[in-house]
Structure 1
Amino acid sequence: MNFDNFETGAELSREEFDQRTPDLRVELLNLQFDLRSADFAVLILIMGDDRRACEELTDRMHEWFDPRGLDTEAFLDEREEELGRPLFWRYWRALPPKGRIGIHLGGWAYHAVAERILTKGGKRRFARRCEHARAFECVLTASGMSIVKVWLHSSTKALEKQLDRADKNTHGWRAREYDRTILEHHGKIEKYGEHLIEGTESDWAPWLVVESTDKRHRDMVVFEHLRDRLAGRLAGAVPAPFDPPLEAHASEPASPLRQLDMGVTADPAEYEKELPRLQRRLSDLAREARDKGVSTVLVFEGMDAAGKGGAIRRLVRGVSAALYRVTPISAPTEVERAHPYLWCFWRQMPRAGEIAIFDRSWYGRVLVERVEGFATQAEWTRAFGELRDFEAQMTEHGTVVAKFWLQIDTDEQLRRFEAREHTPYKKYKITDDDYRNRGRWDEYVAAVDEMLLRTDAKHAPWHLIAANDKHHARLEVLRAVCKALEAKL
């Protein structure tokens, strides 16, 4: 990849542009109309070393498409709400739903290059940004989204002329300090832009590099490319995303769940003493985390009736309600189904200093969706890597991540089911599906074991807790959360 190869001086006459434009615009509008009833969204990333060209192209898209069907976001200056969350939070939350076109100006490509040049993020950090970008694009494409990436390039000489004309022109486009910064670092932008394109080029999300010096040539190339991509996708041409094979284990791994000592209990006197002590300790740590801007994500998973709700209630009892949010996860809503799977979870990432607690989580893809057949084998197999990358982005941002699996045996589960049926304020918790799921216990155990083996990480560990005894489980959860926060703070 070398930008010099695109500096050809290509031009398009006004006469030819005017001749080709009317039919092209009609085609684009018709394709946009057809997209409204399609089962996928389109995401257009506009990036480059020519800010004026990028903004002009974005404006032209709002002119040639129906703007009512466009969701446009400019990712150039970081907002306060973005600084306290992982980088890709801002891109996930701005994704278009099925049937619409999203336009991201700058986006993840801009941030990777700008960070490498202006903040000296380092070669390894830049490479990591490219890896996250590639994973992001793979997840979106796997969900059905069509991604069009455009890099608009101008030579240093062309940019110098552009700024000279802007300085002499009292009307029309005016250069900003930002444009002078681009010119000053243009050589580095080209260098790292080439690395970025090479690192994120793929069959499912290819780059279109266009020389942007001549506006008519630029617009015609980009819009004809958009027409062809949209028409092909609507006709059923779906690029298959890369599905990495699951890593083979060197030997048959032991079942993590079957190694748990399910008979462990907490002494009642110790429980009454330890519970308030740990709650006070967590309250102090939560305030300290708030003051230092350290966010926390806690995931609770477990068999039905394993005591997740009770553990969460004891966990937060001493913590200010202003510092945490508990999010219960159930079947996806219509809005959530119109977006990629992880969209709803990314949107729930906590602000700096806050605690996000998930009662069930993104692991549903490799658990209930896998066992019940709601996800295809390709989807849940691919999800292991997607979830690892998701959590890696949290911890790289400085977020504390702790995951809990609460395990009970079949006899204890049945006892709790029967008790719920006779407890007025718990009757709502029991359904026919709970009893039906007992018939697939071994399938769930196998899915849980594989999940634990493939997604446990030092930066985002699983805590396996024997929960036949509720008191023991609640103390173990509190101890683990306090230990994780103490290590971070």
Structure 2
Amino acid sequence: MPNAKKPSRPRAIPIKAPSAARNRAPRNRPVEDDRIPKKTYDLHTARLRERLVDLQVELKEQPYRVLLIVAGVAGAGRGDVLNTLGGWLDPRGVETFSFTAPTDDERTRPFLWRFWRSLPAKGKIGVYAGSWYTETLAEEARSQKDLVALDADLERIRRFEKALVDDDTLVVKIWLNLDKETQRQRFKALAADPNTAWRVTEDDWRHHRIYDRLERTAVHILGATHRPYAPWTVVDAKDERARNLAVGELLLDQFAAHRRRLARLAHSRKPGRPVAAPVSLRPTGLRRLLALPLEQTLTAEAYEEKRDKWLGRLNAAVRAAKLAGRAITFVFEGWDAAGKGGAIRRLTSAIDVRDYRVYAVAKPTEEEYAHHYLWRFWRHLPRDGQVAIFDRSWYGRILVERIEGFCRPDEWRRAFQELKDFERELTDHGQIVIKFWLHISREEQLARFRAREETNFKKHKINEEDWRNRRKWNGYEIAVGDMLALTDAPAARWHLIPANDKRYARLHILRTACRAIQSALETP
């Protein structure tokens, strides 16, 4: 067996031009040699495969996932690389995705919807042959995209990857590169062989003809999304064996670096624990909450008189949104026994049952817990023209999870921005986001709790957890105030609903929903 050393590993680099980066030659051969000998390749492959399987065994026990994004120049061998990796890895721990142009159904939801849904659970590797970069590159190939629009897409991608990395996901991004002449020679060789001619399409040749323009776009995209938390590594794909080894070694290297990083972070991260008296991050929200007048009432006669009018207007507004291809997402948050369920029933009575879905959000299932906390909400986003109603929502992250210690302090602190970014994805797509906080007094909550205990058909609505949450009223009040102050946005406002009187609250919600939809439809 030859005393061969493994090829030098590729490194993450500041992106200048894809064609400028190459793998260095293995140490056991002359630098001018263009190919790794097969015997050397087989030796390194055997060792690499063992180490990759060991990685997967270790990953099964870890509370994070690995995402491998393989992109690159046409003809660089992306499919060959993925097939090779598929032979090296245990397929039971790998999920492979090949995203191409979005389907008609996928276009009816925000850009990132299909990618969030695809994310693997913790302990697994997600391999992306096509990813959130694919459509951006494809659009540039079809027609040059406006730079402002392109940069908006890249900013969206940066936020997405940052959210995943903050959740301890390892994101490995590889760009397989070929120079223009090598690409031409490879296409010609494939096209000349009847057995491989099918691998070269007219699109491939068209991409070759605009190689220089696509390269400039790739330089821009890679440079704009090359970040310390998710760097790009450019791998020269001229030597297929060196290319394959480089990708495998890179996956191992970044996994080891990620493991060391998390070990360092473990020493500085404070564990989540219940908080009796949280400190307000932005007191203006709490002042807004406490200033809300709760004495408004509405007689049964006045309610009946006005209800049908606002139900009719709401029905017209929802139908207008559907005609305009605008989805609507309602978020209902509020104190226990504040009347969210009753308000939702009145709201849905104005909407065609075929056009809405109600999601009652409880604690995460085992599957949901194995994903990013926003994953379960991305899965339920409505199509254009449809309505989603969330009875409790993603705001549990900064309410119950903060107060009860279900997540770490660093997790709920960064969630304020993550939630704003999430809703920005919805509104940028054109969704209308309407958020309600139903507010009642502490005394009114106590009266409703006791009424539930004394009414047979309402007893199922009250349990010990409700009483336990009530004992933490002051803490939750501060958390709600921070939520109102730090997650209010022009396109996703919080509407505070005085809910001591149920009739007043229900009519107020109908009126607010109607006006919010109409306002959104009038906004360009």
TM-score when scaled to structure 1?
A: 0.93
Q: Which residue of 1 aligns with 2:253?
A: 228
| Cα-to-partner distance string for 1:334-363 (whole Å, 9 max, x where unaligned) | 101111111101111111211011000000
Contact conserved, 1:7 with 1:154, CA < 8 A, in 2? no
Structure 1, 112-121 or 180-189: larger mean CA deviation: 112-121
Return the offset for 1:98. 1.3
The equivalences for 1:13-162 within 5 A come to: 13=36, 14-50=38-74, 53-116=77-140, 118=142, 120-162=144-186
| Cα-to-partner distance string for 1:206-247 (whole Å, 9 max, x where unaligned) | 211111122111111110111222344456756869x9xxx9
Sort the Cα spacing of 1:50 and 1:7 in 2 relative to 1 into closer, same or farther, 3 A.
farther
Pick the aligned partner of 2:194 from 156, 170, 173: 170
**1:375 partner letter:** C
Q: Whose Rg is larger?
A: 2
Q: Secondary structure of the residue that 2:132 maps to in structure 1?
A: helix
Q: Which residue of 1 aligns with 2:35?
A: 12
Contact conserved, 2:284 with 2:485, CA < 8 A, in 1? no
Contact conserved, 2:235 with 2:246, CA < 8 A, in 1? yes
Structure 1, 44-53 or 140-149: larger mean CA deviation: 44-53
| Cα-to-partner distance string for 1:74-114 (whole Å, 9 max, x where unaligned) | 11121222111101111110011112111112211222333
**2:229 is the alignment partner of 1:204:** yes
| Cα-to-partner distance string for 1:272-320 (whole Å, 9 max, x where unaligned) | 0221222222223333333432211110001111111111000001312
Matched residues in 1 for 2:183 and 2:294: separation? 69
The equivalences for 1:73-472 within 5 A come to: 73-116=97-140, 118=142, 120-172=144-196, 174-233=199-258, 237=262, 255-472=287-504
Matched residues in 2 for 1:309 and 1:438: separation? 19
Return the offset for 1:435. 1.6
Return the offset for 1:400. 0.7
Matched residues in 2 for 1:239 and 1:129: separation? 33
Return the offset for 1:474. 1.0
Sort the Cα spacing of 1:252 and 1:482 in 2 relative to 1 into closer, same or farther, 3 A.
closer
**1:132 partner letter:** R
Return the offset for 1:248. 8.4
| Cα-to-partner distance string for 1:113-168 (whole Å, 9 max, x where unaligned) | 33355355422222222222122112212222211111111122222222222332
Contact conserved, 1:9 with 1:213, CA < 8 A, in 2? no
**2:125 partner letter:** I
Q: Secondary structure of the residue that 1:425 maps to in structure 2?
A: helix
Q: Secondary structure of the residue that 2:330 maps to in structure 1?
A: strand
Sort the Cα spacing of 1:373 and 1:419 in 2 relative to 1 into closer, same or farther, 3 A.
same
Sort the Cα spacing of 1:8 and 1:336 in 2 relative to 1 into closer, same or farther, 3 A.
closer
Matched residues in 2 for 1:194 and 1:239: separation? 33
Matched residues in 2 for 1:193 and 1:266: separation? 62
**2:35 partner letter:** L
Matched residues in 2 for 1:248 and 1:421: separation? 36
Sort the Cα spacing of 1:455 and 1:265 in 2 relative to 1 into closer, same or farther, 3 A.
same
Q: Secondary structure of the residue that 1:108 maps to in structure 2?
A: coil
Matched residues in 2 for 1:443 and 1:89: separation? 34
Could you tell me which runs of 5 or more consecutive residues in structure 1 were left unpaired when the two chains were aligned. Answer: none
Structure 1, 390-399 or 171-180: larger mean CA deviation: 171-180
**2:350 partner letter:** G
Sort the Cα spacing of 1:417 and 1:119 in 2 relative to 1 into closer, same or farther, 3 A.
farther
Structure 1, 294-303 or 184-193: larger mean CA deviation: 184-193
Matched residues in 2 for 1:171 and 1:26: separation? 33
Matched residues in 1 for 2:24 and 2:451: separation? 78
Number of residue pairs the alignment of both structures matches: 484
Could you tell me which runs of 5 or more consecutive residues in structure 2 were left unpaired when the two chains were aligned. Answer: 1-14, 26-33, 270-279
Structure 1, 356-365 or 276-285: larger mean CA deviation: 276-285
Structure 1, 208-217 or 32-41: larger mean CA deviation: 32-41
Cα RMSD after superposing both structures: 2.3
Q: Secondary structure of the residue that 1:273 maps to in structure 2?
A: helix
Contact conserved, 2:281 with 2:482, CA < 8 A, in 1? no
Q: Secondary structure of the residue that 1:404 maps to in structure 2?
A: strand
Contact conserved, 1:142 with 1:240, CA < 8 A, in 2? no
Q: Which residue of 1 aligns with 2:508?
A: 476
TM-score when scaled to structure 2?
A: 0.87
Q: Secondary structure of the residue that 2:185 maps to in structure 1?
A: helix
**2:367 partner letter:** V
Matched residues in 1 for 2:432 and 2:503: separation? 25
Matched residues in 1 for 2:453 and 2:206: separation? 68
Sort the Cα spacing of 1:253 and 1:102 in 2 relative to 1 into closer, same or farther, 3 A.
closer
